[in-house]
């Protein structure tokens, strides 16, 4: 390609929520901005997470120079282990972001040594023809940055995820000044977050949740259990401060909550007063009015801490009548059913469940609304504009917000989807050739299969390992097992004595059902996951095979 051409290559996150990943190419040099994941929809059973297809980067691996991370949310770093397992790249990010990446690498047992370089807002790095300045922005996670990337053709501003918070809890304001300076000098291209482009006005400050949480602590007569995203360190700091103010001991529950708070505390990003923390095994020993709990699982994931608490299957916390449970997070699209089921279970246990829109709020978004998006457009005054991060309707709304800049030098707006490229040279900008993109489905039992297209991967999995379908009939009101479970298999080669293994598998299913609580049995999402996990372990132990296991629960 001509060395006078700049290519913008979105590999995910445009036209969809999650999987944010974008490459910039100038000549023979490529930098990658973020490598995120998304959680699977219901039509992808047995899948734990979904990553972008990195075929373009693999085909051009000799030109890929570095991975630049804007912040530490899963939709921006969740696919980093799978990218780095295929291409050994240096990784640049803020300390908290890189600490979260290291945790992800350990979780996926990827031994690839990390080549990381810690940066702070205001730092400038040079990679080939790219000069990159990290610019502090306010978001729902600490140490989030935008990128000001100077190329031979001009400056590209990548906003990352952001909102313009006038009163951030850590008093670190959005660095509008730096972006305005770039705007004065001239910005070639703006790539800006579109998540809340269809929301009018301004997004509330993170501090807006404090009055509601304070009122909850003031009114609660028993335990206060608050679930939020474990990466929401500012929100967790509020919970810490209120627990201390109201004389409650605080426990952290859930693997991600414990791990991330440990990281934040070690980096000085989370302040914990001496004597405040409570060990999980002590939660039920103290008077309920003296206990607060910060717990992960606000999205109703079947194996998360809060989901297990909701069906009375957690060894450290039992919800009792009069306890207050707060969901201090938004409902990620696609998770509605699981979250509402979980809330129903909590209500059955007698909890006062607090959630959803209210004033003051228990949750505020971390993304800019329409007026803040206009502000960034006005400050940077780009020659070209590409909305990023969101479904097509949000990208289109964001594009419309830029129309007023036509008289201020904005030449063209491009609404792209993943795989569609933009080419810029000294003659102008235009859409370029498409690149291969797609979704790669990851099963935690087969992490190494990350480069397969989902259809090919599933076909190969079925061809090599087969499928096992446990069929169970359950009374949806009482949770009682109706009849004997059936085990149906196709393409699953049983060793000698196979009938006996199937009978044992049936007994495994029965034992799983017997050990489950009534609420677990009446929650199809939870009971399917328990059956799948137990049966997968049994079959792997007996046959060293990993068939696709799809529990079928008939609610009668």
Q: What does each C-alpha distance from 417 to 126, 368, 395 come to in angstroms?
A: 28, 21, 9
Q: Is 528 helix (H, G, I), strand (E, B) or coil?
A: helix
Catalytic-role residue among 175, 193, 443, 534: 193
Cα 101 from Cα 79, distance rounded (Å): 9
How do residues 204-257 score in pLDDT, each as one tens digit?
999 999 999 999 999 999 999 999 999 999 999 999 999 999 999 999 999 999
pLDDT of residue 451: 38
- What count of residues does the chain have? 556
Q: Whose CA is closest to 213, among 169, 253, 175? A: 169
Topology of the domain covering 6-201+365-441: Metallo-beta-lactamase; Chain A (3.60.15)
| Mean of pLDDT values over 41-67 | 84
**Quick one: pLDDT at residue 43?**
54
Tell me the average pLDDT of the chain: 90
Nearest residue to 57 via CA among 5, 111, 119, 7: 7
The segment(s) of the chain belonging to CATH 3.60.15.10 are 6-201+365-441
Q: pTM of the prediction?
A: 0.83
Could you tell me if 21 and 9 are in contact, meaning their C-beta atoms sit under 8 angstroms apart? no
Residue 45, pLDDT > 60, answer no
Every domain of the chain with CATH number 3.40.50.10710 lies at 206-354
Which has more confidence, 480 or 295?
295
Predicted confidence band of residue 517 (pLDDT cuts 50, 70, 90): confident
CATH architecture of 206-354: 3-Layer(aba) Sandwich (3.40)
> What is the mean predicted confidence (pLDDT) over 293-313?
92
- pLDDT value of residue 107: 85
In tens, the pLDDT along 93-116 reads 999 999 999 999 988 877 778 899
Confidence of residue 443 (pLDDT cuts 50, 70, 90): low
CA 472 to the chain's CA centroid = 32
pLDDT at residue 452, rounded to an integer: 46
- pLDDT value of position 445: 47
Full DSSP string of 127-164: ETTEEEEEEEEB-SSSSEEEEEEEETTEEEEE--S-B-
Burial of 328 (C-beta count, 10 Å sphere; 0-12/13-18/19+): buried
What percent of the chain shows pLDDT beyond 90? 70
**pLDDT one-digit tens code per residue, 149-208:** 999 999 999 999 999 999 999 999 999 999 999 999 999 999 999 999 999 999 999 999
Which candidate, 12, 140, 131, places its Cα nearest to that of 68? 131
Helices (H) and strands (E) in the chain, counts: 16, 26
Does residue 360 have a cis bond before it (omega within 30 degrees)? yes
CA distance 13 to 195: 10
Q: Which of 367, 389, 398, 461 is catalytic?
A: 367
The answer to which of 72-76, 366-370, 476-480 has the lowest mean pLDDT is 476-480
Q: Return d(Cα 61, Cα 261) in angstroms, integer.
A: 35
Secondary structure class of 250 (helix, strand, coil): strand
Active site (annotated) includes residue 367: yes
Distance from the first to the final alpha carbon of the chain: 62
Mark whether 177 is an active-site residue.
no
Query: How many Å apart are CA 137 and CA 534, to the nearest integer?
Result: 44
- Token pair for residue 375? 């502000």
- How many whole angstroms separate alpha carbon 505 and alpha carbon 86? 37
Outline which parts of the chain fall under CATH 3.10.20.580: 466-555
Helix (H, G, I), strand (E, B) or coil at 529: helix
Please check whether residue 71 is in contact with residue 161, taking contact to mean a CB–CB distance below 8 angstroms.
Answer: yes
Task: Print the SS3 string covering 73-135.
Answer: CHHHHCCHHHHHCCCCCEEEECHHHHHHHHHHHHHCCCCCCCEEEECCCCCEEEECCEEEEEE
Residues 390 and 17: beta-carbon distance below 8 Å: yes
**Coil vs helix vs strand at 31:** strand
Whether 449 shows a pLDDT value over 70: the answer reads no
Comparing 45-49, 144-148, 545-549, the range with the smallest average pLDDT is: 45-49
Beta strands 382-388 and 412-413 are parallel
- CATH architecture of the domain with range 466-555: Roll (3.10)
């Amino acid at each position: 390609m001509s060395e006078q051409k700049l290519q913008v290559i979105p590999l995910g996150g445009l036209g969809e929520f999650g999987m944010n990943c974008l490459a910039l190419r100038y000549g023979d040099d490529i930098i990658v901005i973020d490598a995120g994941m998304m959680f699977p929809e219901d039509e992808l059973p047995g899948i734990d997470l979904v990553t972008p297809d990195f075929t373009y980067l693999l085909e051009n691996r000799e030109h890929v120079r570095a991975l630049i991370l804007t912040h530490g949310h899963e939709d921006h770093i969740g696919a980093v282990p799978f990218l780095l397992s295929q291409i050994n790249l240096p990784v640049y990010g803020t300390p908290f972001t890189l600490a979260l990446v290291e945790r992800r690498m350990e979780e996926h047992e990827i031994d690839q040594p990390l080549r990381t370089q810690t940066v702070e807002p205001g730092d400038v790095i040079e990679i080939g023809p790219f000069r990159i300045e990290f610019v502090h922005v306010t978001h729902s996670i600490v140490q989030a940055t935008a990128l000001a990337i100077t190329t031979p053709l001009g400056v590209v501003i990548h906003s990352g995820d952001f909102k313009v918070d006038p009163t951030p809890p850590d008093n670190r304001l959005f660095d509008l000044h730096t972006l305005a300076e770039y705007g004065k000098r001239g910005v070639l291209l703006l790539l800006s977050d579109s998540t809340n482009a269809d929301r009018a006005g301004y997004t509330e400050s993170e501090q807006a949740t404090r009055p509601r949480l304070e009122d909850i602590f003031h009114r609660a007569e028993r335990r206060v259990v608050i679930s939020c995203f474990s990466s929401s360190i500012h929100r967790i700091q509020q919970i810490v401060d209120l627990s201390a103010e109201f004389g409650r001991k605080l426990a952290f529950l859930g693997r991600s909550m414990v791990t991330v708070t440990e990281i934040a505390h070690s980096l000085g990003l989370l302040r914990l007063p001496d004597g405040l923390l409570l060990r999980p095994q002590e939660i039920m020993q103290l008077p309920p009015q003296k206990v607060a709990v910060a717990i992960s699982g606000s999205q109703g994931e079947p194996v998360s801490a809060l989901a297990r608490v909701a069906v009375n299957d957690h060894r450290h916390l039992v919800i009792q009548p009069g306890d207050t449970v707060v969901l201090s997070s938004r409902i990620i699209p696609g998770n509605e059913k699981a979250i509402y089921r979980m809330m129903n279970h909590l209500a059955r246990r007698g909890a006062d469940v607090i959630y959803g829109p209210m004033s003051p709020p228990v949750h505020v978004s971390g993304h800019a609304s329409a007026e803040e998006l206009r502000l960034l457009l006005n400050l940077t005054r780009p020659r070209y504009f590409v909305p990023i991060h969101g479904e097509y309707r949000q990208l289109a709304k964001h594009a419309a917000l830029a129309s007023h800049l036509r008289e201020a030098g904005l030449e063209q707006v491009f609404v792209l989807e993943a795989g569609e490229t933009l080419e810029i040279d000294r003659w102008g900008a235009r859409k370029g050739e498409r690149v291969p993109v797609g979704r790669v489905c990851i099963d935690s039992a087969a992490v190494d299969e990350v480069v397969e297209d989902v259809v090919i991967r599933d076909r190969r999995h079925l061809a090599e390992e087969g499928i096992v379908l446990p069929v169970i009939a359950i009374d949806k009101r009482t949770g009682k097992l109706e009849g004997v479970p059936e085990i149906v298999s196709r393409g699953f080669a049983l060793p000698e004595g196979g009938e006996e293994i199937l009978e044992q598998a049936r007994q495994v299913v029965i034992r799983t059902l017997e050990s489950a609580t009534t609420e677990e049995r009446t929650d199809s999402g939870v009971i399917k996951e328990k059956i799948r996990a137990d049966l997968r372990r049994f079959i792997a132990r007996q046959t060293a095979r990993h068939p696709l296991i799809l529990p079928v629960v008939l609610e009668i």
